[in-house]
A and B are shown apart, each in its own frame.
Chain A
Amino acid sequence: AQKITQTQPGMFVQEKEAVTLDCTYDTSDQSYGLFWYKQPSSGEMIFLIYQGSYDEQNATEGRYSLNFQKARKSANLVISASQLGDSAMYFCAMREGRGFKTIFGAGTRLFVKA
């Protein structure tokens, strides 16, 4: 069965430093997609980055990069040069190629300190 694990309930990072949010997944499918979303206190889920299981290079979107290690089934999110506005909940999610649903991890709350 599909499963997404985020082991860090909360993380602190100093402004302008980089931070890595961990995500491991479990699936028996060869085709799947991995996503990261940001949810500020306002509640809206903001799409950050996507990695396909067949993508050979790690995905990057501005200050966000996804460290994809397929053999270890991990898809960690790296945020470079943290900003105060990065304080939010971050969710890792997975969607299997044949399935029609996305499952989410429990989330990591990131606090950026000035």
Chain B
Amino acid sequence: KAGVTQTPRYLIKTRGQQVTLSCSPISGHRSVSWYQQTPGQGLQFLFEYFSETQRNKGNFPGRFSGRQFSNSRSEMNVSTLELGDSALYLCASREASGNYEQYFGPGTRLTVT
């Protein structure tokens, strides 16, 4: 099976712009989670989607949003970008919601200038 794919891999944006990141889970996986990784804050949970429904959301402002499509692909959107949004954004998929191992994609490295 193909692994989790994320596009784009690298992105440079300026403050105030918005960005959309895409994640395609492993075939058959219905749960997709998003994480932000920064040197200062480490890995922080953004949200998880399961069967097109957001199941939980981390402590991030409303500028961070996401959605999941019927084919389980997910997108994450960040509006009004700030310098502090520069990070590695990781997507992970699991077979179902619950205590199953999750598999990560390679990440999208976002730089905000």
Contact = CB atoms under 8 A, between A and B. Distances in A.
Contacts of A52: 99
Q: Size class of B's contact patch? A: 20 to 34
B45 A101 contact: yes
Which one of A35, A47, A102 has the highest number of Cβ atoms from chain B below 10 Å of its Cβ?
Answer: A102
B98 interface: yes
Nearest to B42: A106
A100 B34 CA distance: 12
Contact of A97 (B35, B56, B98, B103): B98
B48 A101 contact: yes
Contacts, number: 53
Q: Size class of A's contact patch? A: 20 to 34
Contact of A103 (B45, B104, B107): B45
Nearest to B45: A101
Nearest to A107: B42
A108 B50 CA distance: 30
A45 B81 CA distance: 25
Contacts of A95: 99
Interface of A: 31-33, 35, 37, 42-47, 50, 52, 91, 95, 97, 99-107
